[in-house]
Amino acid sequence: MTRSTPLPPPFDERFGGRAFTADQARAAGVGRGRLRGRDLGHPHHGIYVTEASDDLLDRCAALSVALGPQHWFSHLTAARLWSIPVPQRYAPIEPLHVLTVGGRVPVRHHHVIGRSTSDDPDRRVHAGLRVIGPLATWCHLATRGATEPRMLLGRDALVTAGDYLTTKRRLSTGSTLPPLATAADLARAVDARSGRGTRALRQALVLIRPGAQSPRETLLRLRIVDAGLPEPAVQLPVMTAVGVLHSDLGYERQRLLIEYQGDEHRTSRSRWRSDLTRVQLFQDAGYDVMLVGADDLVPDPSALLARIARALARENAR
């Protein structure tokens, strides 16, 4: 098998492991034939990488070499970069969204959705990339085509994203990071907007509750409310024998707690053991505990909602 000609040392030192443009390659003495080598990736027109990758950060970094200071990653791409949860229906290698700020011509690149705006949205440097800020990103998600052409994010997705933005983020080390925004921040962002997406944002805003630890917890709360049942508290504090623990959802007066169990609660023995202890502590504190899994919630939560209604009725009758 024929090996590719090594890149010139000066070129390797400048661009090794990173993205570069065809113009940069030619300036370093690399010809067109070498750029067609199998060892080089070609993620966008006129852009090459020495290490091809499908990772979002790598793809954004590769495109960045062809972008100017007026170009910012936005919409679905910005949501991904901020780790804002969005529905999982999108393709693994989805187009990158880039917003041109200042009313200039949108970016035109293969596998890129370009837009332009005369507005002045919040902008940040995040993970070494120019990214629209989390508040403006949340607002952008309510516009048509924010995630894919002709698609709109629904109320549930906007509330889920808002819950995430206003909740402290837990790290694997056990420490927490402050929320990316407050509910008041979101309200001000919506008040400052008009036109496309504003109505959807207002509908979502009144349902956002800081504290939800997963998208499914948010969805569970929304389904309970949609069914006409009383809204449960999020992260209800409960005094137990080992101190204050917080239930995913709960009704203090009815002494009823609802715990959502994701698949990791089943696959991790330590998590399973911790869950058993947690439920026992809640029960010893005088609470009934209802465990809920994904199959209870999706696609049809009617049986679960009936269980919750019966449990509330029993507690109210005591």
Identify the pLDDT of residue 110. Answer: 81
Condensed to tens digits (0 to 9), the pLDDT of residues 21-39 reads 666 666 666 766 676 666 6
Q: Are residues 90 and 115 in the same domain?
A: yes
> Residue 194 in 3-state DSSP?
coil
Structural domain boundaries enclosing 22: 9-52
What tens digit of pLDDT does each residue of 103-157 get? 778 998 888 999 999 999 999 999 999 999 999 999 999 987 666 665 678 999 9
- Same domain assignment for residues 72 and 199: yes
Give the E-state strand segments of the chain in sequence order.
Answer: 19-21, 41-44, 47-49, 71-73, 96-101, 112-117, 123-126, 129-132, 169-170, 176-177, 233-240, 243-251, 256-260, 288-292
93 and 219 part of one domain: no
Q: pLDDT, tens digit, for every residue of 84-114?
A: 998 876 555 788 999 999 977 899 888 899 9
In a domain, 267, yes or no: yes
Q: Has residue 1 been placed in a domain? A: no
d(CA 54, CA 80): 14
Write out pLDDT tens, residues 167-203.
Answer: 998 887 878 899 999 999 999 999 998 888 899 999 9
Q: What is the pTM of this model?
A: 0.85
Give 89-122 as a DSSP string.
TS-SSPPEEEEEETS-PPP--TTEEEEEESS---
Residues linked to residue 244 through DSSP beta bridges, in sequence order: 239
Q: Is residue 61 part of a domain?
A: no
Residue 95 lies in a domain: yes
Do 163 and 131 share a structural domain? yes
| Count of domains observed in the chain | 3
Domain boundary residue, one of 205, 239, 261: 205
Instruction: Tell me the CATH number at 268.
Output: 3.40.960.10
Tell me if 189 sits within 8 A of 235, measured CB to CB. Answer: no
Domain closes at, from 141, 170, 205 = 205
CA distances from 112 to 109, 122, 163, 171, 194 (A): 5, 21, 28, 32, 26
Structural domain contains residue 60: no
Q: Which of 158, 182, 205 is the last residue of a domain?
A: 205
